[in-house]
């Protein structure tokens, strides 16, 4: 029996404002991989841990290794927690150098080759999706280096994330206004990959094509969790939920016709250029209570520069359309985008206040590897430059409290004060 320990590294579960809330869910990508390995690969035993949730110390991690005695340790990664993943791998190899170490996730996918330069404790880096790639790892005990397999086209063929593999009782409850109560929230992922090109985002790390599950498959996952876990609140994690209006409408009809819409509440996000009145109305009827838009800026020139495919008129119309349908609407904005000035940021704040949103957040721009803004800062384009004391590749600076880059007259002092102000 091969024993595999899967985990999320990190000393915090998110950046900036989102940190105010406790950790509500396990990592969805990790959940997919661990479920697939447990259900589809014979001869393995799995265990999971969530370090930021448990606030686990290095000593507690070492105790976990000693008690479980895994043959493989497999971690997920984003840029803000990659340094901690390296630390956990170091502890793992110091404890037993024969334990195979595997790294997956967005950061590992984007900078696969750099991982081996930054840590000598990583044996395998998975580029892209981890489900089928893990079959290769189990088949080949001597496999090392980068493993990359083709994207999974038929996402309906995957097992639903098995949340019983996580200690769900320890996660924070989420409040639903619609249900008037707090309950555990369950992530549902309807698609992988992103066809859009927002210059601050690395949304295409799982491909530039949106690969979608069928509405029926998604409906069955919701139904399963309602029936087997008493799930009441869901978060559909897709950042562009309404990209395929037909499928969204089918899903909504299934939720309404089955009566499930009366028992649940769900939240999701989309883009203002994918707004549709009839779909928003159906979503509300099907249990959707909150829609999040990435609005980003209140200045038309900036919106064009960041390739958001939208403008202030469209933003106002779409927010109003969603509100008219009964949905609560929230939005997020980014300060410090390429070409921006202090005057632009002040205009964005004014604009945010005119929209009648249920809430909004202002983030300071983070510079993620694999994005256009990364190259712009490297090449000092559009007034962009690294903030003093920030070096590309210093992964500990990702926190959204402090500026990573300056732009035109938007210096570190102004940006950091803005975070305190809003």
Q: Which residue is nearest to ligand SF4 (CB)?
A: 203
Please report, as residue ranges, which positions from 200 to 229 form the binding site for ligand SF4 (by CB under 6 A). Answer: 201, 203
Residue 220 or 258: the one with the smaller Cβ distance to ligand B12 is 220
In whole angstroms, the minimum distance from the beta carbon of 399 to ligand B12 comes to 9
194 binds ligand SF4 (CB under 6 A): yes
Contact residues: ligand B12, CB under 6 A: 13-15, 18, 27-30, 32-33, 74-76, 78-80, 102, 104-107, 109, 126, 129-131, 133-134, 187, 189, 192, 194, 201-203, 205-206, 237, 239, 368-369
Mask for 255-294, x = binds ligand SF4 (CB under 6 A)? ----------------x----------------------x
Residue 14 or 256: the one with the smaller Cβ distance to ligand B12 is 14
Helix and strand element counts for the chain (H, E) = 15, 18
Residue 201 or 321: the one with the smaller Cβ distance to ligand SF4 is 201
In whole angstroms, the minimum distance from the beta carbon of 370 to ligand SF4 comes to 11
Q: Of 33-41, 163-171, 196-204, 347-355, which part binds ligand SF4 (CB under 6 A)? A: 196-204
Mask for 146-165, x = binds ligand SF4 (CB under 6 A)? --------------------
DSSP 212: E
Q: Which does 237 bind (CB under 5 to 8 A by kind): ligand SF4, ligand B12, none?
A: ligand B12
In whole angstroms, the minimum distance from the beta carbon of 205 to ligand B12 comes to 6
Count of residues in contact with ligand SF4, rule CB under 6 A: 9
Q: Which does 76 bind (CB under 5 to 8 A by kind): ligand B12, ligand SF4, none?
A: ligand B12
DSSP 324: H
3-state secondary structure of 31: helix
In whole angstroms, the minimum distance from the beta carbon of 40 to ligand B12 comes to 13
Residue 151 or 281: the one with the smaller Cβ distance to ligand B12 is 151
CB 221 within 8 A of CB 159: no
29 binds ligand SF4 (CB under 6 A): no
In whole angstroms, the minimum distance from the beta carbon of 157 to ligand SF4 comes to 24
196 binds ligand SF4 (CB under 6 A): yes
Q: Which does 27 bind (CB under 5 to 8 A by kind): ligand B12, ligand SF4, none?
A: ligand B12
3-state secondary structure the chain: CEEEEEEECCCCCCCHHHHHCCCCCCCHHHHHHHHHHHHHCCCEEEEEEEHHHHCCCHHHHHHHHHHHCCCEEEECCCHHHHHHHHHHHHHHHHHCCCCEEEECCHHHHHCHHHHHHHCCCCCEEEECCCHHHHHHHHHCCCCCEEEECCCCCCHHHCCCCCHHHCCHHHCCCEEECCCCEEECEEEECCEECCCCCCCCCCCCCCCCCCEECCHHHHHHHHHHHHHHHCCCEEEECCCCHHHCHHHHHHHHHHHHHCCHHHCCEEEEEECHHHCCHHHHHHHHHCCEEEEEEEEECCCHHHHHHCCCCCCHHHHHHHHHHHHHCCCEEEEEEEECCCCCCHHHHHHHHHHHHHCCCCEEEEEECCCCCCCHHHHHHHCCCCCEEECCCCCCCCHHHCCCCCCCEEECCECHHHHHHHHHHC
Q: Which does 178 bind (CB under 5 to 8 A by kind): ligand B12, ligand SF4, none?
A: none
In whole angstroms, the minimum distance from the beta carbon of 258 to ligand B12 comes to 25
Residue 110 or 176: the one with the smaller Cβ distance to ligand SF4 is 110
In whole angstroms, the minimum distance from the beta carbon of 148 to ligand SF4 comes to 21
Could you give the CA distance from residue 119 to residue 262 in angstroms, rounded to a whole number?
50
Positions that interact with ligand SF4 (CB under 6 A): 194, 196, 198, 201, 203, 239-240, 271, 294
């Amino acid at each position: 029996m091969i024993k595999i320990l899967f985990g999320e590294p990190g000393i915090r579960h998110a950046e900036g404002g989102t940190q105010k809330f406790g950790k509500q869910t396990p990592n969805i990508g990790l959940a997919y991989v661990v479920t697939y390995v447990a259900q589809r690969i014979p001869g393995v035993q799995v265990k999971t841990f969530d370090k930021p949730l448990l606030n686990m110390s290095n000593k507690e991690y070492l105790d976990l290794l000693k008690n479980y005695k895994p043959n493989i340790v497999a971690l997920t990664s984003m840029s803000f927690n990659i340094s901690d993943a390296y630390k956990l791998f170091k502890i793992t190899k110091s404890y037993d150098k024969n334990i195979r170490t595997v790294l997956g996730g967005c950061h590992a996918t984007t900078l696969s080759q750099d991982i081996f330069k930054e840590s000598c404790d990583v044996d395998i880096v998975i580029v892209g999706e981890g489900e089928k790639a893990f079959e290769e790892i189990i088949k080949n005990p001597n496999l090392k280096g980068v493993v990359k397999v083709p994207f999974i086209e038929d996402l309906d063929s995957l097992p639903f994330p098995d949340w019983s593999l996580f200690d769900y009782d320890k996660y924070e409850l989420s409040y639903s206004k619609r249900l008037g109560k707090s309950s555990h929230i369950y992530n549902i992922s309807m698609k992988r990959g992103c066809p859009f090109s927002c210059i601050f985002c690395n949304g295409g790390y799982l491909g530039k094509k949106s690969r979608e599950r069928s509405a029926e498959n998604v409906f069955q996952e919701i139904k399963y969790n309602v029936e087997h876990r008493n799930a009441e609140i869901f978060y559909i994690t897709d950042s562009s939920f309404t990209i395929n209006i037909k499928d969204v409408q089918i899903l909504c009809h299934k939720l309404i016709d089955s009566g499930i819409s009366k028992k649940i509440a769900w939240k999701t996000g989309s883009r203002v250029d994918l707004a549709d009145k009839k779909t928003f109305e159906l979503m509300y009827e099907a249990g959707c209570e909150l829609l999040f838009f990435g609005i980003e800026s209140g200045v038309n020139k900036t919106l064009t520069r960041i390739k958001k495919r939208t403008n202030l008129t469209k933003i106002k119309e779409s927010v109003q359309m969603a509100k008219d349908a009964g949905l609560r609407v929230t939005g997020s904005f980014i300060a410090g985008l390429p070409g921006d000035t202090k005057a632009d940021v002040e205009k964005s704040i004014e604009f945010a206040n005119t929209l009648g949103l249920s809430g909004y957040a202002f983030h300071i721009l983070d510079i993620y590897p694999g994005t256009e803004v990364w190259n712009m800062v490297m090449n000092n384009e559009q007034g962009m430059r690294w903030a003093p004391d920030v070096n590309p590749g210093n992964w500990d600076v990702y926190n959204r409290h402090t500026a990573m880059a300056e732009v035109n007259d938007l210096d570190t002092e102004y940006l950091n004060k803005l975070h305190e102000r809003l």
